[in-house]
């Protein structure tokens, strides 16, 4: 089913989402990827304020391509999330409620999603032109020196996402392939062994 | 001897870098359409629909298919009867520089792997040169994203590991790439040669159109078998479950040493961007 969700997210709405839900997200999201996360993490360690309110925030892991004249943003698809895993539990502890990326998270991130009541959304990787259509505003709010990795505030309307990790600790990257193999009666010998 | 103005190289690279980043090549598009038809799950279908709509939109609006417009790779096959007027390598770098700036492509290259300052123009391209017969220059261009590059693997197997060992290693690499390499992926495999040549073969395998099989029936059969097994994993589009985990497995081989069996697996995403011109 398709659910309309607005940001900022509260714990109750984050906890109500389940893996496999298709979501159209609207509101403000913030962009950060490798270098941006390192800075946010170090700022939290030093007890400093972040450039945006983390409470209820959704972070989109993206380094967009440059905007053409007259465009809000260039292509803007998700980057692979695991590179942000070492920074993520602390961000969740400080109020982050949603992440948009692609690919599996580690056990620490999944545990923190469960503990703090958050949600991990997958966007379609490599669909940067399609996703850019749903971004109505973009501005750099910090770390401008990082270029494509600068921290941006985006406004999105009906941004298409799939819940990949939920607050019950479930993981669609595990359950989705398992379900396919069960439905098609494929055993481990037919694809070269266990996935995990 | 043909006198060859290197400006031709600049212009060709500039064209191919723009085109391959904006227009999905017909072999990849056709593979994705076939994949969409083969899926029976809603999530997989909707993801492939989005990927195809994205390709149409990018072509229509001259936008990059993916924001990771890649590291530029240029394979040069130079006819032995060519004499370059000017520096062909610098001409290629200039083509990359112009294309990435003019077309609003993302500049993703850092000058140093540890100190990580962006070069600002997506150079240097990685250039591979080979000598061939004749007086033409064949140029192949690829924009290689690193979500998939990061999932690539190399192993120095023992000859005793044989074809079964090779299969196990390739399936393991595909499995570990999982959702991270933006499936459905394209799997380039290099077997033989030595440590570095096997990796180069794997990369060259990725330049082959997806609908072309290895010309040796033994390896063509191995490609088909591996593709079926990878797709049995159920990883599916974007790793969220489904039939199409890979669009193709392409294998290239070279002679090797009696003591060795190098195998390299280079992985590409569903936005496999390649182009070729003969000058």
- The string of DSSP codes covering chain A is -EEEEESSPPHHHHHH--TT-EEEEEEEEEE--HHHHHHHHHHHHTTPPPSS--TT-EEE---PPPPPTT-S-S--PPPBGGGGTTTHHHHHHTT--EEEEBS---HHHHHHHHHHT-EEEE--TT-HHHHHTTEEEEEEEE-GGGGGGSEEEEEEEEEEEEEEE-TT--BHHHHHHHHHHHHTT--GGGTTS---
Q: Which residue of B has its CA nearest to A35?
A: B116
Residue A172 pLDDT exceeds 70: yes
B46 in A contact zone (CB under 8 Å): yes
Residue, of A1 and B10, whose pLDDT is higher: B10
* Interface with chain A: mutation pick from B241, B249, B265, B271, highest number of A CBs within 10 Å: B241
Q: What is the mean pLDDT of residues B64-73?
A: 96
Q: What is the mean pLDDT of residues A95-102?
A: 97
**pLDDT tens digit sequence for A18-74:** 999 999 999 999 999 999 999 999 999 999 999 999 999 999 999 999 999 999 999
Whether the complex's predicted ipTM surpasses the cut of 0.95: no
Judging contacts by C-beta atoms under 8 Å, the chain B residues touching residue A160 are 50
Using CB atoms, pick whichever of A20, A128, A186 lies closest to residue B234: A186
Q: What is the pLDDT of residue A1?
A: 75
Using CB atoms, pick whichever of A62, A76, A191 lies closest to residue B233: A191
Judging contacts by C-beta atoms under 8 Å, the chain B residues touching residue A70 are none
On average, the pLDDT of chain B sits at: 96
Using CB atoms, pick whichever of B41, B63, B229 lies closest to residue A192: B229
B108 in A contact zone (CB under 8 Å): yes
**pLDDT tens digit sequence for B123-174:** 999 999 999 999 999 999 999 999 899 999 999 999 999 999 999 999 999 9
Indicate yes or no: CB of A79 within 8 angstroms of CB of B46.
Answer: no
Q: What is the mean pLDDT of residues B224-236?
A: 95
Q: What is the mean pLDDT of residues B100-117?
A: 95
B70 in A contact zone (CB under 8 Å): no
- Going from the C-alpha of A121 to that of each of A89, A114, A155, A158, the distances in angstroms are 16, 14, 17, 14
Residue A106 pLDDT exceeds 80: yes
Q: What is the pLDDT of residue A196?
A: 40
Residue A193 pLDDT exceeds 70: no
Q: What is the mean pLDDT of residues B186-215?
A: 97
Q: What is the mean pLDDT of residues A114-132?
A: 96
Indicate yes or no: CB of B64 within 8 angstroms of CB of A129.
Answer: yes
Q: What is the mean pLDDT of residues A102-127?
A: 96
Q: What is the pLDDT of residue A195?
A: 43
Q: Which residue of B has its CA nearest to A162?
A: B43
Domain boundaries, chain A: 2-190
Indicate yes or no: CB of A191 within 8 angstroms of CB of B107.
Answer: no
Domain boundaries, chain B: 2-20+65-144, 147-272
Residue B240 to chain A, least CA–CA distance (Å): 5
Q: What is the mean pLDDT of residues B35-43?
A: 94
On average, the pLDDT of chain A sits at: 94
Q: What is the pLDDT of residue B231?
A: 95
Pairing between strand B153-157 and B261-268? Answer: antiparallel
Q: What is the pLDDT of residue A192?
A: 63
CATH topology for A2-190 is fumarase (3.20.130)
Share of chain B above pLDDT 90, in %: 98
Q: Residue B45 and residue B184: Cα distance in Å, rounded?
A: 12
B107 in A contact zone (CB under 8 Å): yes
Indicate yes or no: CB of B234 within 8 angstroms of CB of A184.
Answer: yes
Indicate yes or no: CB of A129 within 8 angstroms of CB of B68.
Answer: no
Using CB atoms, pick whichever of A77, A147, A173 lies closest to residue B240: A173
Residue B260 pLDDT exceeds 80: yes
Contact between A91 and A59 (Cβ < 8 Å): yes
Judging contacts by C-beta atoms under 8 Å, the chain B residues touching residue A180 are 41, 234, 236, 241-243
Indicate yes or no: CB of A79 within 8 angstroms of CB of B68.
Answer: yes
Indicate yes or no: CB of A180 within 8 angstroms of CB of B172.
Answer: no
Q: What is the mean pLDDT of residues A143-168?
A: 95
Architecture of the domain whose range is B2-20+65-144: 2-Layer Sandwich (3.30)
């Amino acid at each position: 089913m398709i659910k309309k969700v607005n940001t900022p997210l509260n714990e109750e709405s984050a906890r109500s989402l389940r893996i496999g839900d298709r979501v159209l997200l609207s509101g403000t999201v913030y962009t950060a990827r490798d270098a941006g996360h390192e800075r946010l993490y170090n700022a939290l360690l030093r007890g400093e304020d972040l450039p945006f309110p983390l409470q209820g925030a959704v972070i989109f892991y993206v380094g967009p391509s440059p905007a053409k004249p007259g465009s809000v943003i260039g292509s803007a698809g998700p980057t692979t999330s695991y590179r942000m895993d070492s920074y993520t539990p602390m961000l969740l502890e400080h109020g982050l409620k949603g992440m948009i990326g692609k690919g599996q998270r580690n056990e620490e991130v999944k545990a923190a999603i469960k503990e703090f009541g958050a949600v991990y959304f997958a966007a379609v990787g490599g669909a940067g032109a399609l996703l850019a259509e749903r971004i109505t505003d973009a501005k750099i709010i910090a770390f401008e020196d990082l270029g494509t990795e600068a921290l941006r505030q985006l406004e999105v309307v009906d941004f298409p996402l799939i819940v990949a990790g939920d607050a019950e600790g479930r993981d669609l990257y595990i359950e989705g392939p398992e379900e396919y193999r069960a439905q098609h009666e494929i055993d481990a010998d037919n694809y070269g062994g266990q996935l995990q | 001897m043909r006198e060859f103005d290197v400006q031709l190289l600049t212009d060709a690279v500039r064209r191919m870098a723009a085109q391959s980043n904006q227009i999905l090549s017909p072999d990849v598009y056709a593979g994705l359409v076939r994949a969409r038809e083969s899926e029976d799950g809603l999530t997989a279908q909707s993801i492939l629909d989005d990927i195809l709509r994205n390709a149409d939109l990018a072509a229509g609006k001259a936008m990059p298919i993916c924001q990771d417009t890649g590291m530029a790779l240029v394979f040069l096959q130079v006819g032995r009867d060519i004499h370059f007027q000017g520096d062909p390598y610098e001409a290629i770098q200039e083509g990359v520089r112009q294309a990435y700036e003019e077309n609003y492509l993302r500049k993703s290259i850092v000058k140093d792997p540890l100190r990580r300052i962006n070069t600002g123009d997506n150079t240097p391209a990685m250039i591979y040169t080979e000598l061939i017969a004749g007086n033409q220059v064949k140029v192949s261009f690829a924009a290689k994203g690193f979500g998939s590059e990061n999932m690539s693997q190399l192993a120095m197997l023992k000859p005793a590991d044989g074809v079964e060992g090779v299969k196990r290693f390739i399936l393991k690499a595909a499995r570990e790439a999982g959702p991270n390499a933006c499936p459905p992926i394209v799997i380039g495999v290099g077997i033989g040669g030595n440590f570095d040549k096997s990796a180069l073969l794997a990369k060259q395998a990725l330049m082959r159109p997806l609908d072309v099989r290895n010309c040796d029936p033994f390896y063509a059969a191995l490609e088909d078998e591996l593709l079926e097994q990878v797709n049995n994993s159920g990883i599916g589009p974007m790793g969220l479950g489904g039939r199409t985990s890979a669009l193709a497995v392409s294998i290239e081989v070279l002679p090797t040493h009696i003591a060795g069996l190098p195998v390299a697996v280079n992985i590409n995403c569903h936005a496999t961007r390649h182009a070729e011109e003969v000058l």
